[in-house]
Structure 1
């Protein structure tokens, strides 16, 4: 703070005032009516905020001024959030605005975002819990205001696309404090009735305040808990409500929701005609196949009649007789050929011819016999001598020739020991040059 007796320049005073303002007001929110709105070529936005007794200058610089979701205009009530400062060059006190919203909508927008974040954290908007719509919706419950433009658009589109779809209007209030409880109650009754294949929750466009009933937490939870699939189409394409996030399917407009719920009858007619052509083609093909099977069966039946079978047997007999005659001719020809061959062989094997052949063979063998007989005799003589030597080596006669004798019984049995002869037995003693007649005497004698 400058001393009281210190003299300040205007720039020093403005600098000091600016510091005091910015220190005292870090961030403010001001609600008022727009005035003196100006947007020069620089892209900045200048305006005043006023009420019945005062006004304050404001400035919103690029690029924040270009991010506004609405068009600022004279007389529009807004809420500005920014910093209090002082423009030193002119000594003008002003607010440098960072965010600008239409009045009344800012608080609702904050509440919307807070509730959305909380329900999203619970998994209420997860795609995994959403159910697919039935392939064919036969009865549709439309939860909406019976006098609104949305219901007229829905009925018109459904009547044009698929008149066979049964529509039931479930009337509710779609705006105001009583709207959300009425819609919750209607959804509960519609789900408990079991009458509907799908429900359409819809209304026309409006401001955030007009659509606020569809951001009610109880209504959002009722939409998520509905046993019947729900399509939600709230407001215009750029409008989003929490009920739409919880619904099984969101449509940008009521008319678009009707198109999603009902097939196009022209497409169905084309598909039906294609199916009819396919069915007719398949039917004709099957009829041709059946006719061919019937023809084959008739041929088999005709072939199995007694007359046909007898004719077939007669043809088979004739064929067999022809084959038998052909075979007999072949046999006769073969027999004649064999007879001719036998006669030729017989002529070739007459006694004179055979004797001549034998004589020729004998003459051919005589040289071989004359050459091979001496060799054969020499070989046999050598073998005989070898056998004689072997026999002599093992013959008992060789032993006898060295001075031994062989005792034999009369029947030729060899006496091998004392026990083989008894006193009085007649024995023969074979020596090298003959035999001796012997008799066994008792040992005492």
Structure 2
């Protein structure tokens, strides 16, 4: 083992950053043995230097993140600040100074990952980001390395723990969305401002990253269709149960049937209880991968939190440091396929539609006619009525999403349809 240490800059020292520093300190000997050289924490960039940070030498703490990122003696910079700026500028500065970068920044990668990859390649350094998707679950590296010789056709997953906790509570207790969100907030699963989670932005950023790696195509956040949880009701959860399903917020990335394009989307969906993802409870994450040769693979574990995310960061840090010692580089961006990303309207899926209708003869026939006019085939219909109120629950066969949406709009125009109570896609079959 060489004696000169590899120097690490830590950009950010919140929940994840402080855990990275702790593991570097408490497992220093093991990390050195695995890398082939000691790792030295050379600086820690923070916004509030007066805060006590247990186990971190105050002499290492600085508010000059830009200066730390630009230091020529830094071998690897670990960025755990998050957001777009100043993270983008700091990562670029580290590349230009000759440092490899390990980041957990899903938002930045989804928005500008291709530029970061190009800059890293230009300066002959690594960009690693296992922690950006599903925290401790090994997913990025298996997709871009272990399955590099295979053809991935579909990635289907639960990649946000907050939303899975909320839906799990709604399913288990019959609570409404608001009650379940309040519980998630009280337990620390949801942020004070939960928008990024419950509106699907977090999952959409992860879907963009996964689709790009899986299909060797540049996919940006804007390419990902997104729906959040706000419209999911206790009635939707109950209806799913009657169908032998549960509701999950899914990230779905797949090749189209002709293989000429890809799709990426995030939205709530009903999935059969027999599907592996249906049993994913609480704030856990799981991703289901389907490929030609390997078949079906499932990755499961804690998808958030300081320790799980730090675990993924440290794994990347070890890989980046090994490459520094050997003069090698890890796998960079693979976007050779350059497949177009199809709009949501071209996605072939199924719908579960709940209609409030007039309780009189002929209503079902009118509704069925609308479906037929839009070339959407009905799988099942459940009808119930009492005291002048009537409900129709229709589940369709697979059809283009645009045709299904047009069907719903036409149904709203029927005099006998008082309202479309809910619409949800059905996946995982």
TM-score (norm 1): 0.20
Larger RCO, structure (CA 8 Å, separation 6 or more): 2
For the pair shown, the structure with the greater C-alpha radius of gyration is 1
Larger helix proportion of the pair: 1
TM-score (norm 2): 0.21
Larger strand proportion of the pair: 2
